[in-house]
Amino acid sequence: MQPPVFSAITPFLSWFDMAGLAVFAASGALAAARARQTIITFCFFALVTGTGGGTMRDLLIGAPIFWVHSTAPAAVCLIVAAAVWLTPRAWWSDRALDWFDAAGLAAYAVYGAGKAISVGVPPLPAALIGTMSACFGGVIRDVVAGVPSIILRPELYITAAALSAGSYVVLSLAGIAAPWPALIAVTAGFALRAMAIARGLALPAYRR
């Protein structure tokens, strides 16, 4: 059975890629700021956080690694790192990293699912790829920062990414015209993650 035919990546959807890249890079730079690191470490954190999820996505779908074949993604990460480095620490609240990460999570989940669909990945694997690629940058950031992984926090995280990616796939499969599937999916995922940050929303934990 042939997978449903979806439209290719549109210029509008590509904006979510750059937006997700920028805010994930900012979250990486803020992690370096918390640790009072050097500008080189800021750049490294921003680069691995911003490009980590997209790298895994492209490897899974057999696409060229996006930041290796274009100057723009790495340049965005380095510019964001420099911008955070040049601003006073007092400008950033303790939850700023979480909010940047939430925005990147929703945007990257949608773009990851959309890119997977555009190369012929069936809907369910495409949604899973979008979810995993959205979460992976934050995991890398926390590993290199030596802090507990964000996916192990009690509040909703992976669920928000799955909502964005899954909503985009379902709405696109339903034939809703662009850009509405992307807009609705990003808004839904970000809203769920925002409520989790603000109110500590969490799924029930495993109990024996």
Q: State residue 5's pLDDT score.
A: 41
Task: Give φ, ψ of 150 to 5 degrees.
Answer: -65, -25
- Percent of the chain with pLDDT strictly greater than 70: 94
Q: State residue 10's pLDDT score.
A: 61
Q: What is the pTM of this model?
A: 0.88
Least confident of 5-9, 30-34, 43-47, 134-138: 5-9
Neighbours of 146 (CB within 10 A): 8
Per residue in 5-38, pLDDT tens? Answer: 444 456 667 787 888 899 889 989 999 998 889 9
> Element (H or E) spanning 96, and its range?
helix 96-118
Q: Average the pLDDT over 160-185 and give the result.
A: 93
